[in-house]
Structure 1
């Protein structure tokens, strides 16, 4: 891989260009793109799944989804914003799969949450994921904007662009999502 721009040195414009080329079928661009965004995707997955092997599994799933679904990136906004959503969704899917496997085998964690991996919003990241699962059953439109804003700190404008909704709608969805999440996160108090 000599002669390539290092991952950290790629500008957002360079990543967008790689994504356009990859979307258009350039296999080399796809390989370079996946290498360039892997650290960011892994960080996103770690935000949901603090156990490194779980985050790495989710990251691998995210990279596969990016490669398979790159045609759905419209090219209007930054590729990394689109990629962020793909990674969040992959991490949530990995969490659901792990939860279902644990329930099926009657393996549930008995240890107390590690304060180093405790969410600011919830008692633990698992509390937050459980709350999002609960909200998603009846109000799926609130979950993605809420996670992107309150967990990942994306701007309202970036979220609106990503989900394809007016800014005011996104703000309202986040507000209502927070109202629904508060009692679920306090249930353990």
Structure 2
């Protein structure tokens, strides 16, 4: 696949590259990173509204993939594992930016109004704040909820990725949604 720009790699081809990279093939790792960069950037863009922020998170995610490829268990699709890595990198970038903004007093005085802030098409600041709030007391709900409701992964893919039974994943997502709903609505 070296230098092949004719087609986007299939999921099977990505899995093959990931296995080779995990087993120490440096060329396969380079090809893998190039192949998954667009997908990784899209995941990051889904969380971070500004291109430069999403690019930073994407770079962090790709670095994490390169450094942690050995932790991919190859039982599920590499792209499912990649979604989690990219999501965590985007959330980490958001937290870092938020902490820097708080330290330098550049946060806006008003929070975005969830009635006018699109969680799907626009900024995700209200969603990220909600996930951080939930994560403090119920961290087990955040990852399955984000993977399902933001990235549209199937329940089966999520169960495989987080390593819990399918019924548990469905329950975690249900409870996570119940906790998130009031955090996304304006307080009266």
Whether 1:23 and 2:22 are equivalent positions in the alignment is yes
Runs of 4+ in 1 over 3 A off after TM superposition: 109-113
1 CA distance for matches of 2:45 and 2:152?
Answer: 15
Contact 1:50 1:117 in 2 (8 A): no
1 CA distance for matches of 2:76 and 2:67?
Answer: 19
| Displacement of 1:119 | 1.2
| Displacement of 1:124 | 4.5
Q: TM-score, normalised on structure 1?
A: 0.91
1 CA distance for matches of 2:118 and 2:161?
Answer: 27
| Displacement of 1:9 | 2.4
Q: Residues 17-166 of structure 1: matches in 2 within 5 Å?
A: 17-109=16-108, 118-120=118-120, 124-166=123-165
Q: How many residues align?
A: 187
Give unmatched runs, 5+ long, in structure 2: none
2 CA distance for matches of 1:146 and 1:158?
Answer: 13
SS at match of 2:68: helix
| Displacement of 1:120 | 3.7
1 CA distance for matches of 2:82 and 2:7?
Answer: 17
2 CA distance for matches of 1:13 and 1:78?
Answer: 8
Contact 1:117 1:124 in 2 (8 A): yes
Contact 2:49 2:123 in 1 (8 A): no
2 CA distance for matches of 1:60 and 1:177?
Answer: 29
Superposed CA RMSD in Å reads: 2.4
Give unmatched runs, 5+ long, in structure 1: none
2 CA distance for matches of 1:98 and 1:161?
Answer: 31
Q: Deviations over 1:39-81 (max 9, x none)?
A: 0000000000010000000000000000011111000111011
